[in-house]
Amino acid sequence: MRNLLIALFVIAGSACSLAQDHYRVHLDLAGIKNDRLRVIIFPPKITTDSVTWVFANSVPGTYEEHFWHRMVSNFRAYDAGSVQLPVHRSADSMFVVSRAQDLRYVSYELDDSFDDTTGRNAVFAPAGTAFEEDSIFVLNHGGIVAFIDGMQKRQFNVTVRRPQHLFGGSSLRIERLNDSVDTYAAQTFDELVDSPTIFSLPDTATFSVAGVDVLVQCAHSGVDNIARVYADELAKHCETIARFLPAMPVKRYAFLFYLWRGDRSKVARPFEMGALEHNTSSFYFLGFQRKPIGLSEISIHEFLHILVPLNLHSHEIHEFNFRRPVMSQHLWLYEGTTEYFATLAPLHDKTLKEDRFRSEMQSKLRSSKLPATFSLTEFSRDVLSEANQELYSQIYTYGAVNAFYLDIVMRSASGGKQGLLDVVLTLMKEFGPNRPFHDDSLFDHIERVTGPKVRAYLDTYVKGRNPIPSADILPLIGWKYIPEKRSKTLGYAIDADFTMVDGKPAMRLSPEGEINPLKLQDGDLLVSVNDVPMAELFESAEGRSVMRKMRSPADGDTLRLVVRRNGVDVDLSGQATQVDKIERHFFEVDPAATPEQIALRNAVFYE
């Protein structure tokens, strides 16, 4: 059947005009063997002697390198008579086809990233691929479809042969040709990568909010129908967003969920749960739940990316270099501001209380573990470096607090009339989805619509390496900032920082205070606690129990750790004792706040 299918694809491709100006991609989901997908691509007309087929090294929104070419095998190029053409690898492992003017199609096979146990591709799961025969196919096209270097902006027409019982969901419009063949199109490779697609058993629901048609698809093993429950929850969050924004800048949206049920043969690295935003969709890799718990903040965050970077972004985003990625210096805007808006929107809607908002912003600052000097723009521009990959999560904590402070500064400078959302909306009207700004010019544009006080903040605390000024900013809205409080408590004096090491989640430890019962050293990497591996501490009841005992021990409790120190595993143990408890970054309401301070606070929160 597979050979017959290939022959039919070749005949169909050969029948096309030699002057076709688009790609025709054929994906054979029904012919999957050993979780390996066969892909055939007919390219646009080629006029050069050789071409290089590119597999993405990164995709927008992930801020990490994937090297998808490592998952490719049996790459072949053929002329119109199905005679093989010469192929060799470039210095960066792409596929170079000679005699390219005779090229009619290429074919290759792909392994998926979800069940990769080799560690070759440490791909963040929501950007990954899954080929589970007859059940679930996650098509993040950056890991599936190749393009010819220099021909990224051509249309891609995708034909999918699928098992008849599976349903395809995407923000792209999928046309069902018959019981087993679907087709969809993207105007460019960028749009194709921006439009993940799932084929799974049909568990879908829809709703509309503020003129946006929304699809919810839940892919999971088993026959549960839970999409309606997820849709009802998501509808509430989307209504919150609709009340936060003056108008929705999209007409359709898709929430796509892969809900994992614990099968390690299908998902080798389940601790990388989370979500990835796209312009008109978001993809989630989460544990299976019949009723969604904790979906609020993550879904609001991902949906709010319809503001930035969809409608406000630089050339680096708009003309993304999939082969040799160049990062924008404004990750603080794309992710930090979006995370702040995701916390502000429920407050603005009054579904979140002010005390809870204050607690969440305080918690974000407490979670920030940064060098003494740190530039958000330098970090963003060099985010693919190993050092900055370890700091990446800070953009959602420190970056969000920075956006909060910037909002306060903008409101203060304008007498309460203009905040960060207003500035973003103003610049969206000037730029929008198809007109990027130059990376070095963004501060000029913001200063033009705000003023010199805002520019001074950006130069000092976003571009500059100075810590954000909590003690100066929070009093503007009638809050007090307390840098540190000390007390005594029973414990082990462990300061833990979640980070990424070699592309994997890790926990970096250091002693907190002078008393150090475990003899920790700065930079120790946690391997296990009481024989429970670090990767399982948050995945099992036993692991969570161990974490509770580590955080809140009883008198006489002992703790055993294995840490990796300078590449060597070291056994540590100690007894809970009275240790210094050092808590940092307190936000407190000033009971003596003036009417002017309260008015500015209300403008930030509710206008």
Average pLDDT over residues 241-249: 94
Q: Is the Cα torsion angle 270, 146, 199, 11 positive or negative in sign?
A: negative
Q: Which two tokens stand for residue 564?
A: 């990796």
User: Quick one: residue 348, left, alpha or beta (phi over 0 = left, psi -120 to 50 = alpha)?
Assistant: alpha
Confidence of residue 290 (pLDDT cuts 50, 70, 90): very high
Over 70: is that where the pLDDT of 14 sits?
no
**Tokens 């220099």 appear where?**
150
Torsion angles phi and psi, residue 37, rounded to 5:
-100, 135
* pLDDT average, residue stretch 417-424: 98
Pull the structure tokens for residue 490.
Answer: 């029973």
pTM for this model (two decimals): 0.85
* Residue 264 CB-half CA count within 13 A: 5
When pLDDT is cut at 50, 70 and 90, the band that residue 546 belongs to is confident
Residues 6 or more apart whose Cβ sits within 8 Å of residue 448 = none
Asked if residue 42 has pLDDT above 90, the reply is yes
Decide: 355 and 414 in contact? Cβ < 8 Å.
no
pLDDT digits (tens, 9 = 90+) for 48-74: 999 999 999 999 988 888 899 999 999
Q: What is the Cα–Cα distance from 592 to 590, expressed in whole angstroms?
A: 5
Running DSSP on this structure, what letter comes out for residue 262? S
pLDDT for position 166 = 97
**Residues with Cβ < 8 Å from 592, sequence gap 6 or more?**
none
d(CA 391, CA 373): 13
Domains of the chain by range and CATH? 2-200 (2.60.40.3650), 204-305 (1.10.390.10), 307-478+590-607 (1.10.390.10), 485-584 (2.30.42.10)
Measuring CA to CA, which residue among 398, 275, 383 is closest to residue 336? 398
Count CB atoms within 10 A of the CB of residue 320. Answer: 24
**pLDDT value of position 503:** 62
Mean pLDDT of the 438-462 span:
98
Report the distance separating Cα 496 and Cα 498, nearest Å.
7
Q: Which pLDDT value is given to residue 267?
A: 86
Q: Taking a C-beta distance cutoff of 8 angstroms, is the pair 90, 54 a contact?
A: no
pLDDT digit string (tens) for 231-241?
A: 999 999 999 99
Can you tell me the distance from the alpha carbon of 98 to that of 403, in angstroms, rounded to the nearest whole number? 51
Note the pLDDT of residue 64: 86
Residue 95 contacts by C-beta under 8 Å, 6 or more apart in sequence?
52, 53, 55, 69, 72, 75, 77, 87, 88, 89, 106, 146
DSSP secondary structure letter of residue 250: -
pLDDT at 221 over 60: yes
Radius of gyration of the chain from its Cα atoms, rounded to whole angstroms: 26
Which residue bears the tokens 């799932």?
A: 198
- Mean pLDDT along residues 174-198: 97
Is pLDDT above 60 for 425? Answer: yes
pLDDT digits over 75-123, tens only?
999 999 999 999 999 999 999 999 999 999 999 999 999 988 766 667 8
| Beta partners for residue 37, in sequence order | 110
Largest CA distance in the chain: 84
- Residue 94, C-beta contacts closer than 8 angstroms, at least 6 positions apart: 52, 53, 54, 55, 69, 149, 323
| Residue that has been written with the tokens 């809205």 in this structure | 477
Residue 40, Ramachandran bin (φ over 0: left; ψ between -120 and 50: alpha; else beta): beta
**Per residue, what are the HEC states of 507-521?**
EEEEECCCCCCCCCC
Cross-strand partners of 24: 42, 157
Per-residue burial over 119-152, b if 16 or more Cβ lie within 10 Å, else e, is eebbbbbbbbbbbbeebbbbbbbbbbbbbbeebb
As a whole number of angstroms, the distance between CA 193 and CA 217 comes to: 18
